[in-house]
Copies of this chain bind each other. A is one copy, B any other.
Amino acid sequence: MNTFGRLFRFTGFGESHGPAIGGVVDGMPAGVKISVDAIQHQLDRRRPGQSAITTSRAESDRVEILSGIFDGVTTGTPIGFIIRNTDHRSADYSEVEHTFRPSHADYTYTAKYGIRDYRGGGRSSARETATRVVAGAMAMQALASMGISITAFTSAVGPITLPLSPDEINRDAIESNPVRCPDPETARRMEQLILDVKKEGDTIGGVVSCVINGLPAGLGEPVFGRLGAMLASAMMSINAAKGFDYGMGFDGASRRGSEMIDEFFIGSAGDLTTRSNHSGGIQGGISNGQPVTFRVAFKPVATLLRDVATVDDQGRTVTLRARGRHDPCVVPRAVPVVEAMAAMTILDAVLLNRCSRL
């Protein structure tokens, strides 16, 4: 299933080491002005080789748009695009042709399909997320025209966590450091931890948080289309994502109702608002007009630059040492991917909500 969404739909394709990756955005409303520069900006944030803490694989990641945009404006027809793969050293991967790297997708793809493109992980490579960033960047431009903004950032790297709450986030601060953590001091410690881990040939997990501002009340649908379920599905489809929660999430499970209620009151502008936002902007599965806040947990990637024991497709025990180029921590580069998936989800919810009343 390589299509995401119900009305705003993205279909992606492409392997890490094939000729190109790409996708089709279908259901984009007509009349959205699209800046290719803004798309490229998000792609550059996801691109490998940005800094000392990311993989040295060097993809230029230039998007070529093939349809659906006329004189810079969407026409309502599908937007096809491709990104050529340029730096694929397939030789790096020949030794994993018959070997299952532990905690990778090598075995499960083989079990499912009986065949796999083993070069660079093939379809299971996170390279595929570049196409999501393109589609998400277009969705973001449509949302921006409605006053909706999406801001993701690194809130944990290993045991180091961000001490700020969602309403204290400064968007500029996020981009001021390679970790994409909005608190400079915490960012420095995170960066050092990643460098230490990298030196040891190890990797480390982390958490990306996200705040969506400007949402109207009414997005999301009972019962299976709850906004939280839509976001969960979106986020858990990202490579290495292992957990999702929104509002108080897992922390709220240990609390009492009396601590967690978000009291309503009428704000100075005469609008209904809440004194707190433990609900993370979603009540009964539907947005209530407050900021939507959520977190995504990422595991440490499984590619270690040290010997690991595993088995091959003949059932023989073998020792493997990774040779590819990999990120010691995926979290900084996952930030724009989380934003992209959030943007697609929210635009879909906005469109679906147009049909809720006669």
Contacts and interface: CB of A to CB of B under 8 A. Distances in A.
A217 B108 contact: yes
A288 interface: yes
Interface size class of A (residues with CB under 8 A): 35 or more
A108 B288 contact: yes
B226 A257 contact: no
A6 to B, nearest CB: 8
A80 B13 contact: yes
Contact of A66 (B13, B247, B285, B286): B13
B263 A102 contact: yes
Interface in A312-326: 315, 317
Nearest to A328: B257
A255 B156 CA distance: 11
Interface in A265-322: 265-266, 270, 272, 274, 278-280, 282-289, 297-304, 306, 308-311, 315, 317
Q: Choose among A11, A270, A303, A309 the residue with the greatest number of B CB atoms under 10 Å from its CB.
A: A11
A123 B257 CA distance: 22
B242 A243 contact: no
B3 A11 contact: yes
Contact of A256 (B30, B197, B353): B197
